Structure 1
Amino acid sequence: MKVGFIGTGSMGGLLIDAFLSSGGLLAGDVIASNRSRQKLDRLAQLHPGITLAENNRETAAGSDIVFLCVKPLEFKALTDEIGDCLGSGQIVVSITSPVQIHHLERVLPSKIAKIIPSITHSVFSGTSLCVLGSRLDDHDRELLLGLMSHIGNPVEISESHTRISSDFSSCGPAFLSLFLERWIEAAAAATGIDRRLAGILAGEMLLGTGRLLTEGEFTPGELQERVAVPGGITAEALSLLRYSLDGVFERLIDTTHRKYDEDLAKLDALFGQSGQASE
């Protein structure tokens, strides 16, 4: 099976690294193209044996599965470029949340899926969000989910929940990292604790908390109740956090959804659609 990657920037490169490092793919399985030849050359140095295509059309034509790893507003130009190189038996995967299944099904003959990855896949962890188009059959589903399972936990979702799900799985590592960064800086300033030590403590705490929520059958509320003794230090600090964070997450969701809706409107215009799938 040949798997192509059009775009080998931040996330495209991460996916190639993760698939090859995990054993999900072999170097000989991978075809890649990118506007920057330097990025392709660096990729080939890291992973000898992958095929560097001369252009995107070569990647599209030579792949059984092709991941489109470009920015949202570059999709229409890319689909115009590669559309006649694709066939009905190939699977095209968008990794960009605002690009809709119906956008791609309208202009490409292939089977279409959307998979939103996470930076956590670089350590074979986290969730990939999977939206499968109407043309995929059970074999295609097993193929894609099996491939993604090498680098994380693939979860099928409704396309209407792509944005809010991405807030947790894809954007979440950055949000939590900001929280920890501010906490570590404040701790170092107040107590003199070594920042590296605080970072290790915070990272191990986050790892353990994740396992409690995914394997220990705790809900977030139950975990707070278990840790916070009434009248104790944790309980008092939680009261402060609840007061200080009042409304923050509502504004966060509003911000991410507003940007998503702006991108979606631009994509609807580019693809000549009003947001509804064509009959």
Structure 2
Amino acid sequence: MKIGFIGYGSMADLLTRQFLAHSDVAASDIIVYARSANDKLQEMHDLFPELTIAATSQEVFEKAAHTFVCVLPLGVLPVLLDAKPALSADKHVISIAAGVSVADLAHVTDQAQFSKLIPSLTTSVGIGTSLVNHGSNVSTENQTWLSDVLGTFSSVMEVPEENIDLASDLTSSSPGFIAAIFEQFVQAAVRKSDLTEAEIFQMISHSLAGTAKLLAERGYTFDSLIKRVATKGGITAEGVELSEAKLPAFFDELLARTEKKYDHHHAEIKKQIDELF
């Protein structure tokens, strides 16, 4: 059984490396098509010469039982249309594009089995969530295969389409949000002290890593951790009180902005569907 990749950017590279490192997938099981040469694919092929580089996307769909489509949102439907003759009923196609639903994919054909995957960078270190959503005709066998192969290096959650955009904010986008927030914490500490930026970064990054371990390994919730650290009337409680006063509006606006961006993606895909079909 071969596993295909159409497009080979950072997420395709992440998935390929994790499959090879943690599952029973062999390099000889993988076939990749990329429209243009890139360093990631060349490095992977140098490491694993038995990996197959296909001449066309249709070749991938023909040879692979499961194919991950890892191209930009507006590129997904054209890729599928170009290879439509190969999209038979036994083919399992998994798109990772934001804003493209399983129902959108089914406009191409009602024969192939379509799933959606939202991966996260955090799964590259063995902790993180992979979001999945399946079309109604995806077999139990294929649903189980995808869950099992992703489950070797991540927590797999099946999420309804109506919730997947918000869930993507919480999994795929949140490392960027968290990094942006704590970069501002670093810069505030730089302005307030004689410590170097490197020293401050080390302190905060280690605190973040330790906090994550407490949550993951010691059974803390955010609320119970706050109660454990923030003594009533103490210094930490001052920061918690300020956070509770200021952050709700920030996160409400953050989710409103990302929702607006998702709406834009959906509108672009709807327009594309109207033009193609």
Task: Give me the TM-score of the superposition, normalised by structure 2.
Answer: 0.91
- Pairwise CA distance, 1:23: 3.9
Shift of 1:90: 1.4
Could you tell me which residue of structure 2 aligns to residue 14 of structure 1? Answer: 14
C-alpha separation in 1, matches of 2:121 and 2:48: 19
Aligned partners of 2:226, 2:38: CA distance in 1, in Å? Answer: 49
Return closer, same or farther for 1:24/1:208 CA change in 2, 3 Å cut-off: farther
CA distance in 2, matches of 1:186, 1:49: 50
Sort the Cα spacing of 1:22 and 1:189 in 2 relative to 1 into closer, same or farther, 3 A.
Answer: farther
Match of 2:126 in 1: 124
Aligned to 2:180: 178
Q: CA deviation at 1:4?
A: 0.5
Alignment of 1:110-189 (within 5 A): 110-189=112-191
Find the aligned partners of 1:25 and 1:181 in 2 and give their Cα distance. 38
Corresponding residue of 1:32 = 32
CA contact (8 A) 1:97 1:162 kept: no
Give the Cα–Cα distance (whole angstroms) in 1 for the partners of residues 175 and 36 of structure 2. Answer: 28
* 1:40-64 per-position Cα deviation (integer Å, ceiling 9, x unaligned): 3233124332111112111111111
Task: Return the alpha-carbon distance in structure 2 between the equivalents of residues 31 and 20 of structure 1.
Answer: 13
Which runs of 5 or more structure 2 residues have no equivalent in the other structure? Answer: none
Residue type at the aligned position of 1:75: V
Unaligned stretches of 5+ residues in structure 1:
274-279
What is the TM-score normalised by the length of structure 1? 0.91
Alignment partner of 1:81 is 2:82: yes
User: CA–CA distance in 2 between the matches of 1:24 and 1:15?
Assistant: 13
SS at match of 2:97: coil
Deviation (angstroms), 1:237: 1.3
Provide closer, same or farther for how the CA distance between residues 24 and 187 of structure 1 changes in structure 2, counting only shifts above 3 A: farther
Task: Percent identity, please.
Answer: 32
Residues 21-55 of structure 1: CA deviation (Å, up to 9, x unaligned) = 33452211111111112343233124332111112
Task: State the match for 1:276 in structure 2.
Answer: none
Per the alignment, in what secondary structure is the counterpart of residue 271 of structure 1?
Answer: helix
Moved more, 264-273 or 71-80: 264-273
Tell me whether 1:51 sits opposite 2:43 in the alignment.
Answer: no
Q: CA deviation digits over 1:141-172, x for unaligned, max 9?
A: 21110010122111111111101101010000
CA contact (8 A) 2:61 2:91 kept: no
RMSD, aligned α-carbons: 1.9
Q: How many residues align?
A: 273
SS of residue matched to 1:245: helix
Contact 2:33/2:55 (CA < 8 Å) preserved in 1? yes
